[in-house]
Amino acid sequence: MDYAIVTDSCCNLTEATIDELGIHILPLRFLVDGEEYRSYLKGEVTDLKQFYTMMREGKVIKTSLPNMSESEELVRGLLEKGKDVLFLGFSSALSGTYEAADLLFQQLAPNYPNRRLIAIDTLAASGGQGLLVYHAARLAREGKSLEEVARWVVENRLHLAHWFTVDDLMFLFRGGRVSRTSAWAGTVLNIKPVMHVDDEGRLIPLEKVRGRKKSLNALVKHMEQSAVRPIQEPVFITHGDCLEDAEYVAGQIREKLGVQDVRINYVDPVIGAHSGPGTMALFFLADKR
Domain-wise residue ranges, the chain:
3-157, 159-285
Cα-trace Rg, the chain: 19
- CATH hierarchy code of domain 159-285: 3.30.1180.10
Could you give the CA distance from residue 175 to residue 202 in angstroms, rounded to a whole number? 13
- Residue 59 vs residues 31, 40, 54, 170, 243: alpha-carbon distances, Å: 10, 20, 6, 14, 22
- pLDDT given at position 184: 46
Same fold, 3-157 and 159-285: no
Asked whether the beta carbons of 87 and 106 are under 8 A apart, the reply is no
Average pLDDT, the chain: 91
Q: Structure pTM?
A: 0.93
On whether the 3-157 domain is CATH 3.40.50.300, my answer is no
Give pLDDT tens digits for 69-126. 999 999 999 999 999 999 999 999 999 999 999 999 999 999 999 999 999 999 999 9
- List strand residue ranges (DSSP E) for the chain, in order: 3-8, 24-26, 29-32, 35-38, 61-64, 84-89, 117-121, 160-165, 191-197, 203-210, 235-239, 262-266, 280-285
**b/e map 29-39, b = 16+ CB within 10 Å:** bbebeeeeebb
181 pLDDT exceeds 60? Answer: no
Three-state SS for 49? Answer: helix
Residues 6+ apart with CB under 8 A from 1: 140, 141, 143
Give pLDDT tens digits for 1-31. 799 999 999 999 998 899 999 999 999 999 9
> What would the mean pLDDT of 231-236 be, rounded to a whole number?
90
Q: Are strands 280-285 and 262-266 parallel, antiparallel or unpaired?
A: unpaired
Could you give the CA distance from residue 134 to residue 172 in angstroms, rounded to a whole number? 28
Could you give the CA distance from residue 248 to residue 233 in angstroms, rounded to a whole number? 19
> What would the mean pLDDT of 124-147 be, rounded to a whole number?
97
Could you give the CA distance from residue 57 to residue 12 in angstroms, rounded to a whole number? 24
- pLDDT given at position 202: 94
- pLDDT given at position 77: 98
